[in-house]
Every structure is written in structure tokens, then in C-alpha cells.
Amino acid sequence: MAPGVWMPDQGEGTYANPILAGDYSDPDIVRVGEDYYLTASSFANVPGLPVLHSRDLVNWTLVGHALTRLPQAHHDVPRRGGGVWAPAIRHHGGLFRIFWGDPDFGIYTVTAADPAGPWSEPILVDNPGGAIDPAPFWDDDGQGWLVYSYAKSRSGKINLVALKRLDDSGTRAVGEERIIVDGDTLAQVETSDGPKTWVVIEGGKLYKRDGWYWLFAPSGGVKGGWQGVFRARDITGPYEARNVLDQGDTPVNGPHQGGWVETPQGEHWFVHFSDADAYGRRVHLQPMTWNADGWPLVGTPQPGTHRGQPVLAHAKPALPPQAMSAPVVDDSFDDGFHLGWQWQSNPAADWHDASATGVLRLKSASSPVNLWEAGHVLSQKLPGMTFSATTTLDFAPVALGERAGLTLFGAAYGWIGLEHAADGVRLVQVTREDAAGQGDARSVTAGVAIHGPVHLRVDVTPVEVAVAPPADPTRYWPSMERAYHARAQFHYSLDGHAWTALGEPVHVLPGRWVGAQLGLFAQSPAGTPAFTATRVGYADFDDFRVR
């Protein structure tokens, strides 16, 4: 692996969290035999629904995506924060099944015999209006059930977990909706930061053990939350509630929303995310044990309580050894581009010229100059907290105003690259501090005329910043008073050896529900005539490397 990529396996029988340093939000997990599969939210990025594989729960590889494109033309342009929310992956009836909620269009499912694909076309399971976070469950009698929650922004409802039956195919929700958990009716819960109100209960997953139905459902919000567990003797309730994991005295904020898995050896483990702002929602692995009263405890015990707190490092699961691995980052582009790359919306057929060999050829797609509005930025998740990313750009523009480059991208972003101006092709570094709010950009030009390939680099380091304190201490945690930006310093080189910084460092912010992303793009001004070989040019990228 590239030395800039975070590796959780410490090589001596232990692991360090996170097990996935990239932005794999809302993870869910399933075991089939001796193999483990994980999926996560992908929101507006395409392809969506990443599928990762492991045999030891620590070393993961990306094996494919279950969604080649979002099923609505609505997503043919960037819909920041829309798309795939909080999926669940299960194996039932000989098929892998992934369910997800698009808050604007409903609950969907796809199926596959092989988790690497091909996957079926999306099937609409239900559309109760604003539903999110669906997860299926099949009971001992074969009856299928679906739990889900609601996005207040679309439905006006929140803090609920709903239940419906599934039909025999497992692809349609049928019958009457039942609310099995209403957070507004629950007494306050004890946490390591004092009593809290149950708020934003969502992301529910149903399991069964020892005659109890177990609903794992986080509460408290992304950064200030905890992992709630609810149990009942009947699937419809009534459910008892408990906090089984919170931040405790660790730096791991909002440890919640994930999935429980049991190994063949009888160990229990829980994956969840923790929000690192510009670095995304990173995945952690926690040991899970059972208290004497029959309730689970996730993480390491907090003395004198029935709840756990996250482990920062721990002995690896008692599973057969696996080679150290992490999702691939580097790309030579010798055979297309690797699975880790995603577009910002459903791609158009001519954004990428697959006929070019040995390079990534991006056509100069027509779009607004603000990349926040551009679906054709090809991006991947950040591989760690501190790293440098380099690539080589060979630009062949036709129209004035065409530009191409390397970006660290989010709601505030920067990029370095080349722009075709009236006096030729020039090196430029652009910063847009409020891209999501359509703020103005500022640019710095190197004044160097470029007549061939140029090498581009971004150095990335975390910067901790203070944010406004929460207004209601009964609902939020002190950890919400600070955030991470990704500080990006851009450089160029004409020979690949001597590097020159261009522009001031840029504080890059996360996107909408996603972390910042490394991206490559080629762009022509909005309104440029449709792509043809004579009207717009292209950019060739080669040797994308992280160190």
C-alpha cells in the first residue's frame, strides 16, 4: 500500500481505529460463512453503495458498487446531500440484499448472487414520504420485516422507528405501518456527559437473540450521539431502552450507527462511524460483550456503568490471519480508473474518454465555474489525515476558459491546474471559500506559460477549529464545539523534482453529509456547445499517487 494510506492492522495482533479512514458513513455489515461484507452511505456520489470485503474485520478491500447510477434523472446534476442514505446489507434466500432510503423518492433495494456484482436494477420497496435508514429482518418463521425512520426535512417527522411487513419476495413493504419506538415518549437516558434527551433516533437495525428482539438505533445526532439499544419479547414492542456506547473520556465523538456481527468463534463485534468533519465519517470496530443482565455493552466498560466507550486500539478478532489491506488509492490509469473513484452525480457518457490508453482522459465538460455545481469532478475519499497527493496533467484545450486540475473538494475548496486564457495556457490556483453559498473565487496565476505536461501536488494536514457551543447541553456534547478542516497547500513542478507552492493554504470544508474529497476535473465554461472533437478539448491525467 502507498505509505500515505492509513493502515489499521498494526501487524502484531492488534488493530488501531479507525478500521476505514475514508468517509464510509453509516456502515452496515453482514457475515456469510467466513466472509464479511460492509456497505455505507454514498449520497450523491456515483457509483453508489460501495461493497467492501474482509475476512478478519480489520483489513478491508473495495470489491465493487451495488448501484451503477442513481435511478432518477433528478440525480443527473449534483444533489448535495441527496441520494443514498444509510443502507443495510443482508443475505437471505441465497441473495445479497441492500436496502437504502432516498428521502426524496422512497426506499429501494437491489440484489445479487455475488457481492462484487452484477447487482439488479433498483426496486422501489415503499414510499411513505421522507423515509430513511431502512433495514430488513427475517424472523424464525420466515416472515420478513422492514424498520425505517423519517427525515424531518422531508416528512416533518423525526425521532421515530417504524415497522412494516415485507412480502414473500422481500422487495415490497406491505400492510400497516407501526411505530415501535417514539423517542419523544422516552425518559432521559444516562450518558457519560450527564442525562440526555432521546433525539434523532434513526438508523435502526433489527436482530434476534435469546428470544429477544434487539433494535440497535443511534440517538443524539451525528457528533453528539450515542448507541441506543432497544429490546422486546414481541417484534412490535413494547421496547425497553438503554445506552450501550457513548464517547466516555475518549476523543471519539458520536460513536454510533452501524451494525452488529457475530463470528463463527462466538465473538461479537460492532462497527460504527465517528465524524471527523472534513475527513468524513470514519469507521471504527468495537468489541461487544454481554452484561450479566443480558444487555449488550459495546467497547470497553465505563467503570460503574452498564455502557461502554470506544477502544482506540484492541486485539484483533480471533479470525484467520489476512494480509494487510485497505481500499486502493493510487492509480496509474493503465486500465481505466479504479473502483475508489466516484462522480458527483450520474455521469454523462462523454465525460470520460475510455478509448485513451495509459491515462485518465477527461473531456472538458460544460458546467458552472463553481465546481460545487459540477457533476463531472471525479473524486475519491481521503486516505488519511496527513498526506500528499500528486498527479501529472497534460492539457489539450480548444475553447477559451477551459481548465483542468487537481482539487481538494468540499463546501469550501481549492484546486491547482491549468487554464486556457487569451495569452495561452497558464498555471493557476483557485480558492472558493463558500462554494455551497455561491461565494466568489479568488485565483493566483503563476505567470508560467505551459507547453507540455505539468506535475501537480496537494499537501493535506488537519486543522482543529473552534465552533459555536451547543445551545442545549441536555442534547449535545462538548466535543461538538470543535471541528476539523483539511488544510491544503498546492504546488506545481515542471520536472517532477523541484516543487513550487502556488497560492495560500486553503481550509477545505466537508460537503453535504460527506467529507472532503480528492478530485480531478476538466471543465469548459457553462454554455460551451455540446462536446465535439473540434469544440472542446480534454485533459490527460497520469500517475495519481498518495504519500
Please give, one letter per residue, the 3-state secondary structure of 467-515: CCCCCCCCCCCHHHHEEEEEEEEEEEECCCCCCEECCCCEEECCCCCCC
pLDDT mean over 42-59: 98
CB 344 within 8 A of CB 279: no
Of the candidates 396, 436, 394, 444, the residue with the CA atom closest to the CA atom of residue 420: 396
Rg of the chain over Cα atoms, rounded to whole angstroms, equals 24
Cα dihedral 460, 466, 471, 475, rounded to 10, equals 50
* Cell numbers that stand for 497 in this block: 523534482
Q: For residue 153, what is the enclosing H or E element?
A: helix 152-155
pLDDT digit string, tens, across residues 324-334: 999 999 999 99
Whole-angstrom CA distances from 363 to 296, 358, 374, 532 are 53, 16, 13, 10
CB count within 10 Å of CB 423 equals: 7
The rounded distance, in Å, linking the Cα atoms of 394 and 404 is: 9
Local structure of residue 154 (DSSP, 8 states):
H
The catalytic site residues sit at 26, 202
Local structure of residue 530 (DSSP, 8 states):
P
In this prediction, residue 533 carries a pLDDT of: 45
Of the candidates 450, 440, 457, the residue with the CA atom closest to the CA atom of residue 418: 450
User: Kind of pairing, strands 35-39 and 28-32?
Assistant: antiparallel
- In our burial notation (b when 16+ CB lie closer than 10 A, e otherwise), range 78-116 reads bbbebbbbbbbbbebeeebbbbbbbbbbbbbbbbbeebb
In this prediction, residue 480 carries a pLDDT of: 81
pLDDT digit string, tens, across residues 498-531: 999 999 999 999 999 999 999 999 999 876 554 4
Q: How far from the centroid of its chain's Cα atoms is residue 70's Cα?
A: 16
Of the candidates 324, 158, 180, the residue with the CA atom closest to the CA atom of residue 240: 180
pLDDT of 475 > 70? The answer is no
481: confidence class by pLDDT, cuts 50, 70, 90: confident
In this prediction, residue 140 carries a pLDDT of: 97
pLDDT of 4 > 70? The answer is no
Lowest mean pLDDT among 54-68, 328-342, 472-486: 472-486
In this prediction, residue 478 carries a pLDDT of: 77
In this prediction, residue 400 carries a pLDDT of: 94
pLDDT digit string, tens, across residues 223-252: 999 999 999 999 999 999 999 999 999 999
CATH code of the domain made up of 341-546: 2.60.120.200
Local structure of residue 206 (DSSP, 8 states):
E
pLDDT of 207 > 90? The answer is yes
- Boundaries of CATH 2.60.120.200 in the chain? 341-546
Backbone angles phi, psi at 419, to 5 degrees: -135, 135
* Cell numbers that stand for 204 in this block: 435502526
pLDDT mean over 524-547: 80
In this prediction, residue 525 carries a pLDDT of: 86
* Cell numbers that stand for 10 in this block: 498494526
Locus of grid cell 429490546: 231
pLDDT mean over 341-348: 98
Q: Domain 14-315: what homologous superfamily?
A: Glycosyl hydrolase domain; family 43 (2.115.10.20)
The rounded distance, in Å, linking the Cα atoms of 493 and 543 is: 14
Q: What's the one-letter identity of residue 529?
A: P
pLDDT of 344 > 70? The answer is yes
pLDDT of 317 > 90? The answer is yes
In this prediction, residue 472 carries a pLDDT of: 75
2: confidence class by pLDDT, cuts 50, 70, 90: low
Q: What's the one-letter identity of residue 253?
A: N
3: confidence class by pLDDT, cuts 50, 70, 90: low
Local structure of residue 336 (DSSP, 8 states):
B
Q: What's the one-letter identity of residue 230?
A: F
In this prediction, residue 447 carries a pLDDT of: 82
Percentage of residues in the chain having pLDDT higher than 90: 91
pLDDT of 534 > 70? The answer is no
Question: What's 82-103 look like in SS3?
Answer: CCEEEEEEEEECCEEEEEEEEC
Q: In the predicted model, what is the mean pLDDT of the chain?
A: 95
The rounded distance, in Å, linking the Cα atoms of 81 and 396 is: 34
- Boundaries of CATH 2.115.10.20 in the chain? 14-315
